[in-house]
Structure formats: C-alpha cells, structure tokens
Amino acid sequence: MAETAEWSALSALAAANRRHDPRASLNDPERCARLVVDACGLRIDFTRQLYDLPTLDLLLALARTQGVVGTVENTLRGGQVNATEGRAALHTALRIPPGGSLVVDGVDVAADVHAELDRMSAFCDEVRSGNWRGHNGVPVKAIVNIGIGGSNLGPKMAVEGLRPFVDESLDMRFVSNVDPADLDRALKGLDPQTTLFVVCSKSFTTLETMTNAAAAREWVIAGHGGDSTAVSSHMVAVSTARDQVADFGIDPATGMFGFWEWVGGRYSVGSAIGLSLMLAIGPTGFREFLAGMREMDEHFRTAPADHNLPILLALTWLWNGSIFAHDSVAVLPYSSDLHLFPSYLQQLDMESNGKRVRADGTPVGVHTGPVVWGEAGTDGQHAFHQLLHQGTRVVPCDLIGFAKSIAPDQQARQDLLMANLVAQAEALSVGRTEAEAASLEDGEDLASHRTFPGGKPVTVILAQQLDPMTLGKLVALYEHKVLVEAAIWGTNPFDQWGVELGKEMADVIVPELHGSSKDAHDASTSALIDAVRALRSN
C-alpha cells in the first residue's frame, strides 16, 4: 500500500499538515451535497471531517487501487478470505432473505441458515408463551446468557439497545467474566426452577464460558434437590460441538442450536449466538434486525463508492488514523439504550483491525486500527468531553442519534437529547474564538479558558428511531467499514491470534498458583506468581 501513488500523495498531505478546516466550508453547497449521504434510512454527515473534496477523491482512488470491490465480492460470495484459518467469513449469509440461495463448496448455506432460524423461532415461541417448562413444570421467567467476547457483547448490546422491544415478563441477564462475582451478580434473586441458561461457545471448551457454565449447572442441580436430569430443562447450548454438549447434560436434539465455522465470534450476533436476543424481542423482531443488516449489505454491495456509507466511513477513519495518526476514535451514541454499542465496536474493530502484518505475513508499515471507546450522550459530556473540546489530543468522533422517541410521550426529552447531539457537533467543529470568548461577561479575564479551538473531526449518523431494523443497519455498517479498511491495508480482519498468547500462558500458570512446580518464567513473573500464592494462603 505504501508504494501506491495515492498513498504517497496522501502521505505528502499529512507531512505538510494539509488538513481541511471544515469551518471554512460548512455553508458550501457542493461539499454538503457530496458529504451528506442518505441511504438505508441513515443520514451520515461527513461535512465536519478534515478533508476537502479533492482529498476524498484521492481516498476513493486508493480504495480502487487496493481492490476493495474485489475483496468485497470475494467475501460476500464465500471466498476463503480468512487465509490464516482457511475459511470463509460469510456472516452476511446469516441474513439472506427467505427463498434466497448461496452455494458455497456445493452446499446451499442459505437453506441451512433458515432451517436453524426456524428451529430458534420455534424454541423462542415455546419459551415466550410459557409452553417450555422447567424440570418441575414451571414456565421460564429469567434468561441468563453465558458467553464471552462476541458470544456476550453482541447479544447483550442488542438486548440493551432494544430495551423497549424486550418482553417485560422475561428477566434478561448476561455473564461473561470468569470472576465469580459476575455469575453471583447474575444469579442474585433468581430461582433455579424458573431460570433458563443459554451457554454460547462454538467449541464448548472456552475456559471462561465453560467455567461459568459448570457453576451454573451445579446451581441448577442443587436447586432441584441434586437431580442432574434437571439440566436439560434449564440449560441450552449454542455450539458446533455436539458431543461436548451431550456430555454436559444437554440434549442436542432439543437444546442445541448451531452455527458454522464461517461465522466469526464478533460477527455472530445474527446467528444462533443471538438466541438470547430472539428470546428477548421475539422471532419477528429478530428477523427485522436481520432485515436491517441485509439492507445495509445490499447497499454496500451495489452503491457506488462515493455514495457508499461503509466505504466513506472507512475512508474517514483511515484518513484520521492511518494518515494523521490519531490513535483513538470516540463513538458517542446519543441513546442510553445504546450505551454498550462502543464496547461492542471495541471488539469488532480492535480484534479485527488490531494487526501489524498483512494477510501474507509481511509488515503493514502504517497505523492500522485505532483504540475505540465511548459512552452514551449526555453522560459523556460530563466526563471526557472536556478533553475532546480543549485537550491537546485530537480525537475523531462518531456521533449517533435518533430523531424520534419510541415512546410518543417522551418526545420532548428526546428533542433535548438531540439538541445536545447537534450542539456537540457544532461545538467540536466550529468552536469559539478567543475574541468571541473575550466578548462574554467577564470574558477578558477568562478568554483563554473559554476559547474552543474547534476543527475537530466529527461524523454525525442520524436515523429516525432506534428499532430492530435500525440497529441491524448500524451493526452491518460498522462490520463493512472494518472490511474496507482491512482490504486497503491488506490485513486479515477475520482472525485474532493476538487473543491466544495470554490464554496459553494462563493455562500454564493456573496449576502453578496451586503449588505445582513453576515453568520457566522471567524473574518478575515468578515473583508475581509467588506473591499471589502468598496472598492466597494468608
């Protein structure tokens, strides 16, 4: 990538600090016409970004040179794009419409997807109607999802995000951390006879998940007088490991829901990993969520690059991160229900694009994925927005908002929330000059403190309201943004080898904490193990 003419030209702009000041062109009709894009029910405003139109054209040319279109087509048709693990990354197949077809290696994966969706729907209808009974014949009142990574972040974020659509008769809870406090907190106040666990692990060997699942299993058995046969009525599995599921005590025929090797964890919320989401919002709501993803998939596949939301968002992140080395991005949803969306995007983006080598093993040579963080507005305004406005670091921001409240009687408060979003976009980009600050009351003494430099890179994403379809569109938007960036860098966004080393080391250290002879560690690590041992024994 660094050798292309487009990259050299972009690098030269960075070396000369040639960032466009959007304040000079916020009233430019041509800029607004090109940098405000309406598609799929989303309005994305890039007018406050720090590139001019010729630079955008250069970024679009870079995408062409790096073969983004070819990478997208290969991914969507089931090519083996995850080269290091020898598999496809076909999460878009999870939202193929009924009656659709996608044949990969001689198998119509669409037929398999819809068969599993139908099984999920039938099960969820049984639970939600009260027809699924616990071991003692009592209907389910609480759902506890046990998973980690994408098996937790996706469904938990979506259940929280779609709170107004969740069945109020079900108490939805999530467990991910191996810290005993996490499971203890989730089980507090629950009755083993009315609780259903959804255990999500592709291999059914994930250390954290299966540790928590084993503890939950014992809780279920103890709550039924030691009867281990109660497990099959109070625990179901989302997995690909049929034998392990059966050995755990869950009947695979009735209590196991599958997905496929071509579904990566952080891309899996639209698969059976989303079973807890379907239980919460119902099969119809879940299919609307998938329909929103599918609409964004089709836009991504067919829209020209200069009107393509994921491509434009990816080029914006790349300009700010790879070109100008702004090392973090703040994602700020102006929705309390979407407070977990930044955490969800942390995994989606940082696990996918936190790479130092290309797919062929050679160094990337440029900055890749940024640190992704954020909080719901307006909470963030009273926490870290001070740094965004007047700190010495430049932090690009994605502001996400919804014009219409789900509850009509709360529209006035929704308007106040949206006024804050618009005000933050204006304040971050326009700011306040020292002369303007001096003109305020007591301004001369405090002018330097009340000056806002402005010129901060801001993208504003608006939708009418937050519902299942809209959330599906937002999830797919960022999924595809990740793919475009990876295509430009030449990296593989579908593996995560960086997760492995710490897990391997932890497996070695666990018995050492219990007194086994220590492996060869550096002196500092050995001392740390000894310190933990000593503190445990006191």
Provide the residue-wise pLDDT of the chain in tens; the chain has 538 residues: 557 999 999 999 988 888 888 888 888 999 999 999 999 999 999 999 999 999 999 999 999 999 999 999 999 999 999 999 999 999 999 999 999 999 988 889 999 999 999 999 999 999 999 999 999 999 999 999 999 999 999 999 999 999 999 999 999 999 999 999 999 999 999 999 999 999 999 999 999 999 999 999 999 999 999 999 999 999 999 999 999 999 999 999 999 999 999 999 999 999 999 999 999 999 999 999 999 999 999 999 999 999 999 999 999 999 999 999 999 999 999 999 999 999 999 999 999 999 999 999 999 999 999 999 999 999 999 999 999 999 999 999 999 999 999 999 999 999 999 999 999 999 999 999 999 999 998 778 899 999 999 999 999 999 999 999 999 999 999 999 999 999 999 999 999 999 988 888 998 999 999 887 877 899 999 999 999 999 988 8
Q: Would residue 382 show up in a list of annotated catalytic residues for this protein?
A: yes
Say what the pTM is: 0.97
User: Same domain, yes or no, for 317 and 377?
Assistant: yes
Euclidean distance between CA atoms 448 and 518, whole angstroms? 58
Place of tokens 């974020």: 157
User: Same domain, yes or no, for 116 and 217?
Assistant: yes
Residue 265 counted as domain residue: yes
Number of domains in the chain: 3
Euclidean distance between CA atoms 393 and 131, whole angstroms? 56
User: Same domain, yes or no, for 250 and 111?
Assistant: yes
Residue 390 counted as domain residue: yes
Q: Would residue 288 show up in a list of annotated catalytic residues for this protein?
A: no
Q: Which residues span the domain enclosing 390? A: 5-82+290-431+452-489
Place of tokens 């099984």: 119
Residue 463 counted as domain residue: yes
User: Same domain, yes or no, for 96 and 232?
Assistant: yes
The residues facing 331 across adjacent strands are: 398
User: Same domain, yes or no, for 156 and 201?
Assistant: yes
Give, in degrees to the nearest 5, the angle at Cα 238 between 236 and 239. 125
Strands of the sheet with 256-257, listed across from one edge: 171-175, 142-146, 195-200, 235-238, 256-257
Among 307, 382, 444, 500, the one annotated catalytic: 382
Among 73, 261, 444, 503, the one annotated catalytic: 503
Among 160, 208, 351, 479, the one annotated catalytic: 351
User: Same domain, yes or no, for 74 and 162?
Assistant: no
User: Same domain, yes or no, for 77 and 121?
Assistant: no
User: Same domain, yes or no, for 177 and 306?
Assistant: no
Residue 436 counted as domain residue: no
Q: Would residue 404 show up in a list of annotated catalytic residues for this protein?
A: no
User: Same domain, yes or no, for 217 and 343?
Assistant: no
Residue 375 counted as domain residue: yes
Q: Residue 247 maps to which CATH number?
A: 3.40.50.10490
Tokens at residue 213, please?
A: 């699942």
Q: Is 237 helix (H, G, I), strand (E, B) or coil?
A: strand
Tokens at residue 107, please?
A: 């198998």
User: Same domain, yes or no, for 374 and 473?
Assistant: yes
Cβ-based neighbours of 532, under 8 Å, separated by 6 or more? 513
The dihedrals phi and psi of 269, each to the nearest 5 degrees, come to: -65, -25
